[in-house]
Structure formats: C-alpha cells, structure tokens
Amino acid sequence: MNTQVSLKNVNGVSLSVAMAVCRRGILRVVSRPTLLLPIIFMPVIMLISFTGAFGSLTRIEGYGSENIYDWMAPYVALQGSVFAGVFGSASTAEDFETGFFDRLLLTPGSRSSILLGTVMVSAIRSLFPTLGVVIVALLGGLNLSGGLPAILFLFVASALMASVFCLFSLAIVYRFKTIRSLMIVQLVAFTSFFMTIGQVPIEFMTGWLHQVARFNPITNVLRFARQGFLEGITWEVTWPGLIVFAAANAVGAVLAFQSLRRIGS
C-alpha cells in the first residue's frame, strides 16, 4: 500500500505541491470572481481621483512627464499589488479559520512548498489590478515613452511587490491565524507608501518627509516601476529597485518560513 511518490523536489521544495496550492488559489478566484473586484477597483478609482485632482501638477518641472497618468499609473498599480499580496495571505487566514490549512499541513512534503504556492497566487493576482490601471491610464492618454518594456517592468514590479507583502503578511497570519491580524500590515503598507515619491518628486519634499522618502526603500521600487513611463529604462534606476525587491523578498521569506515552522509548537 505504498504511495507512488512523484514529487519534484528542488532544495526541499516540492514544485508540484506549490503548483497545486497555486492552482487552488486561482480556482478559488475563478469560482468567485467578485473576489477580484476590490483589488482591481481600488487602484483604478485611486488613479481616476489622483489624476483628476492633480492633473495640472505635471506642468511644474521635475515630474519627468507632462502627463499625470505617466506619473500616477505605476504608483497606484503598486498600491494595488500590495492589496493583492495582503489578500493572498487573507485567504490563508480563511483557511486557518475553516480548518483547511490543517489539510495542507498534513502533506508529507516540505511546508515551504505551501508558502511558495501562496506567494505565486498573490503574484499572479497582482497582475489584474495592474492590467486594470494600465487600461484606464491608456484610455486617459498615457504617453508611455518607454513602450512595451515599460509595461513589462511594471508587471514585474507588481508581481514582486505582491510577493513581498504576501510574505510579510503570511509571517503574521501564520502566527496569529486570523484575518484581523492583517490590519497591522495594511497600516504599515499604506503609511510607508505615502512617505515616498508616490505623489510628488523628492525635490518638492521638505523637512523630515524628504529624509524619510529618500531612505524609504519603496522610493527605489517606485523609480524602478516608473522609469519606463517617464524617461526610459536605465540600469542606474533598475539595480537599486532589484536590490530592494530581492532583500525584501528574502527577509519576508525568512520571517514567513519561521512563523510557518512554529505552527503547532
């Protein structure tokens, strides 16, 4: 009565299990598409309201484009990705509350596969709000000086941003096992997003906010995502963003995995 084992293990991670967890997450979205509405509408509404309210700001020199959509679209797309990342961990919290997570924990494979699968779902989900933002921005007259590579960079940035916030959220959900615990992540995410170059260039900021935005790692991420929309893609702007993504994903993964390992102890 031995089970036929066909797990493809890479450094202890079963890719087949990760893919199965990811597939389940996608199936859930397909079976309940209304789940996607908040994460698509929130950034789209933000884009419409920000561009409507601050449409004339880009006439001031320093924005890198005279079109407000070029400036705002990457910013709200990344905020939508944060939502998508946190949302992925909210599904895990729901699994704790229904008991389904026990079924995943009873898998004989590595638990990191469960973690990887959940992050994969969040990254995929993040593409929907980004797509929504890009479509609305294009309709609004986006210049897109960087062309298709700019869009590609934005999608990559969105997926990486979602994975960062999914990992940090999972670190909390694995510990507290409730959706309510995610309030902390949302608070941190939005606070840190507003203290960046999201709405105005850093040269326009003064006092402590200028200093915080300068050293806030999300500023580099925004530059990474925004570069193709403003002046074209350069390595000087790309590498700091990649380093932030790599470091944040690594730290998030360690914290999430530690919390996951502590479950049941």
Residue ranges binding another protein (CB under 8 A): 1, 3-7, 14, 16-17, 19-20, 23-24, 27-28, 31-32, 95, 98-109, 264-265
Q: Which is nearer to another protein, 16 or 178 (CB)?
A: 16
Three-state DSSP state, 99: coil
Single-letter residue type at 215: F
Rounded to whole angstroms, the Cα distance separating 195 from 213 reads: 5
- C-beta of 91: minimal distance to another protein in Å? 10
Rounded to whole angstroms, the Cα distance separating 143 from 65 reads: 8
Q: Which is nearer to another protein, 105 or 187 (CB)?
A: 105
- C-beta of 179: minimal distance to another protein in Å? 16
Rounded to whole angstroms, the Cα distance separating 118 from 96 reads: 14
- C-beta of 5: minimal distance to another protein in Å? 4
Rounded to whole angstroms, the Cα distance separating 249 from 9 reads: 21
Q: Which is nearer to another protein, 28 or 210 (CB)?
A: 28
* Distance, CA of 18 to chain centre: 19
- C-beta of 98: minimal distance to another protein in Å? 7
Q: In this structure, what token pair is assigned to residue 43?
A: 């950034």
- Neighbour tally for 187: CB within 10 Å: 10
Rounded to whole angstroms, the Cα distance separating 186 from 99 reads: 24
Q: Which is nearer to another protein, 113 or 196 (CB)?
A: 113
- C-beta of 27: minimal distance to another protein in Å? 6
Q: Which is nearer to another protein, 17 or 142 (CB)?
A: 17
Q: Which is nearer to another protein, 210 or 262 (CB)?
A: 262
Torsion of CA 64, 66, 67, 71, to 10 degrees: 30
- C-beta of 118: minimal distance to another protein in Å? 14
Q: Which is nearer to another protein, 98 or 234 (CB)?
A: 98
Three-state DSSP state, 174: helix
Alpha helices in the chain (DSSP H): 15-31, 36-53, 68-98, 100-105, 112-140, 148-176, 183-194, 207-215, 217-230, 235-262
- C-beta of 176: minimal distance to another protein in Å? 15
- How far apart are the two ends of the chain, measured CA to CA in Å? 31
